[in-house]
Amino acid sequence: MSQQLHKSLTWRDGLAIAMVIPNGLLLTVGYTVGAIGGWTAITIWCVGALVAFAQNMLFAETAAMFPGMSGGISRYATEGWKRYFAPLGAVASYGYWIGWSFSIAVNGAAIGHLITAQWFPHAPSIPFPGHRIGLPEALAVLAIAGGWACNYFGARLAASVSKAVAALVMCGLAVVVIAPFLHPGSWDASRLTWYHGGSWMTLIVWFYVTAWTTYGTEICASFAPEYRDTARDTAKALRLTSLISLGVFFVVPLATVGSVGEETLRSDPVGAFATAFTQALGGFSDVGVLILIVSMFFGMVSCTADGGRALYGLAREGMTVRQLDKVNRWGVPGRALTLDALVNAAIVVLLGEPLSILIASNFGYLVAMTLAVAGFLLLRKDRPDWPRPIRRARAWIPVAWAILAFNIVIVSVGVTHPSLAGYGGATESFLAVGILLISVVLYAYRRVVQDGERIAWRIEPPLMPEDEAAPQPPNSATARSTIPSNRS
């Protein structure tokens, strides 16, 4: 059986899968608007989308440099940093995987609670250490299994499901956006306010909290080796997804808050979209909840796809157990997808409310993002002659430095002051750092126990791709790369 990912996708499939981003907005709009006001929240989302667009322009170049590598932006961080401190590649890869993967548990838990509250409010539950479990957890596990099934049997199936669900979600968003403006008096700009708390650090923390949504358009890069035309399809999917998300981040909260008001969202942040849909149609609350549930399931399908490929990329790079370096008969990393689903099912059952885990995992995701931007700069410096089907102009170098500095500030303030957003405190921050430290342990296990090699603290990369590299001089200090070539 071929162990290569199948090149079966186009940029349209990547765009459909990446439409998970509006789902993240639906999950966070109530919390964000309730805390800092409508206009401030819209500003944060739009600024984040613009930063994400600039980042994606950089990632399009690195994706085209390594057309056979799975794992998305964490792989670009690995390639950039391996010459200086190779374990940072493991940190970036695990941080990226956790950031996407644990979103599955959050979406599943939200689906379970929404269904139970709407249709089975008196469902029984049983005591469990730390909380109670019942129908919400059972439904969450079923949703996780459904997201796994949509991905396990081929990327085309996941893309097809994503296209169908994306159409439904976009129709629901269109109703929420258009309806208030068709009924005079139902939308009022005075219902949106600015943040008057006086702490600029609070705004930075909220940028940190929402970055897993605003930056998420980079998911298109995770499927680079599966696009029929890697350079063209990856770049186009990244660009269009960023622009569409920018529009969604402005229009949807503008219409939602202007029609239902900030206090309504503050009182029911999880069901904010369902409330807006009900008001837009003058009823049909079941329809609004159903669309929200389908949207969250759509997000689970995309997160499962990305998380599984991140794990597969880790194993292929030699940074986690080699058993995950396998694709199934449908050309997808089946073992990685299965492990991803089992981990999230365990989180839902054992923790009940995985929101604190998600916030902790957000640290890893933004660390991976920051290392990937730095990786772009390091690759420009260390591999100037490496073939680049997409090469950004020199003006993008200072842009990359500015984004790097911006992300460092966001991560530093966010992880040290999470309580400013009301999501936790020192426990979540220590957990965030601990999760990434585990990645270094697993990296050492793979290298020392499974591969029988010493830990490679630094790996000198080739100056050119292996199939184009010039012969090395006898005294070359170039170390053997741990990355198997996927190129023919």
For residue range 122-154, list pLDDT tens digits in order: 888 887 766 678 888 899 999 999 988 888 776
Task: Kindly report which listed range (77-86, 354-363, 407-416, 444-453) carries the lowest average pLDDT score.
Answer: 354-363
Range 77-106 average pLDDT: 87
Which pLDDT tens digit goes with each residue over 324-363? 888 888 778 888 889 889 988 888 887 666 566 667 778 8
Domain presence at residue 395: no
**Tokens in use for 51?**
């930063």
Count, residues in the chain: 488
Angle between helices 135-152 and 155-182 (to 10 degrees): 120
Q: For the chain, what is the mean pLDDT?
A: 81
User: Of 173, 176, 103, which is closest to residue 143 (Cα–Cα)?
Assistant: 103
Question: With 80 as the cut, is the pLDDT of residue 378 above it?
Answer: yes
CA dist 250 → 261, 271, 370 (Å): 16, 19, 25
- Stated pTM of the model: 0.81
Q: Return d(Cα 154, Cα 141) in angstroms, integer.
A: 21
Q: How far is CA 13 from CA 70, 179, 228, 302, in A?
A: 16, 29, 11, 11
Residue 227 forms beta bridges with which residues? 9
User: Is 481 inside any structural domain?
Assistant: no
Asked if 284 and 278 touch (Cβ cutoff 8 Å), the reply is yes
Q: Give 486's pLDDT tier (boundaries 50, 70, 90).
A: very low
Instruction: Say how far apart CA 389 and CA 63 lie, in whole Å.
Output: 10
On the question of pLDDT at 484 being above 50, the answer is no
72 confidence band (pLDDT: 50, 70, 90): confident
Neighbours of 389 (CB within 10 A): 16
Alpha helices per DSSP H over 283-354: 285-317, 334-351
- For residue 435, pLDDT over 80 is answered with no
**Integer angstrom CA distances of residue 110 from 137, 219, 337:** 10, 22, 21
Asked, for residue 3, whether it belongs to a domain, the answer is no
Q: What is the pLDDT of residue 56?
A: 92
In a domain, 28, yes or no: yes
pLDDT at 472: 39
| Residues 304/325, Cβ–Cβ less than 8 Å | no
Q: Which residue has the higher pLDDT, 71 or 107?
A: 107
Tokens of 388: 């680049």
What the block records as the tokens of 94 is 């695990």
Residue 478: inside a domain, yes or no? Answer: no
> Which amino acid is present at 74?
S
Nearest Cα neighbor of 372 from 105, 99, 139, 165 is 99
Is pLDDT at 109 greater than 90 in this prediction?
no
User: What pLDDT, on a 0 to 100 scale, did the predictor assign at position 469?
Assistant: 42
pLDDT above 50: residue 483: no
Q: Domains in the chain: how many in total?
A: 1
DSSP 403-434: HHHHHHHHHHHHHH-GGGGTS--HHHHHHHHH
pLDDT of residue 424: 62
- Does residue 468 carry a pLDDT above 60? no
Residue 476 has what pLDDT?
34
Provide CB contacts within 8 A for 153, sequence distance 6+: 330, 332
Q: Is residue 287 part of a domain?
A: yes
Percent of the chain with pLDDT over 70: 85
Residue 97: which of 369, 421, 383 has the closest Cα? 369
* pLDDT for 311: 81
Q: What is the pLDDT of residue 410?
A: 96
Contact 260, 279 (CB under 8 A): yes
**DSSP characters over 78-103:** HHHHTTT-THHHHHHHHHHHHHHHHH
Phi, psi of 185 (to 5 degrees): 90, -15
Query: Tens digit of pLDDT for each residue in 215-269?
Result: 988 888 877 888 888 888 888 988 999 999 999 899 888 988 988 888 888 887 7
- What is the model's pLDDT at position 222? 77
Where residue 151 sits, what CATH number does that domain have? 1.20.1740.10
Among 115, 24, 53, 65, which Cα is nearest to 246's? Answer: 53
DSSP 288: H
**Closest alpha carbon to 59 in 385, 342, 388:** 388
Helix (H, G, I), strand (E, B) or coil at 131: strand
Does any domain span residue 425?
A: yes
| Alpha carbons 108 and 145: distance in angstroms, whole number | 10
Query: What pairs with residue 450 in β-bridges?
Result: none
Q: What's the mean pLDDT in 172-178?
A: 76
Q: Residue 314 is which amino acid? A: L
Query: Which is nearest to 275 in space by CA: 176, 184, 169, 181?
Result: 176
Distance CA 276, CA 173 (A): 10
Asked if the model's pLDDT at residue 480 lies above 50, the reply is no
Q: How far apart are CA 129 and CA 464, in angstroms?
A: 55
Rounded to whole angstroms, how far apart are CA atoms 32 and 24? 12
Considering only CA atoms, which of 91, 144, 153 is closest in space to residue 314?
91
pLDDT single digits (tens) 264-317: 888 877 667 777 777 776 666 677 778 778 878 877 887 787 778 778 877 887
Task: Say if 479 falls within a structural domain.
Answer: no
Q: Which domain holds residue 411?
A: 11-384+401-450
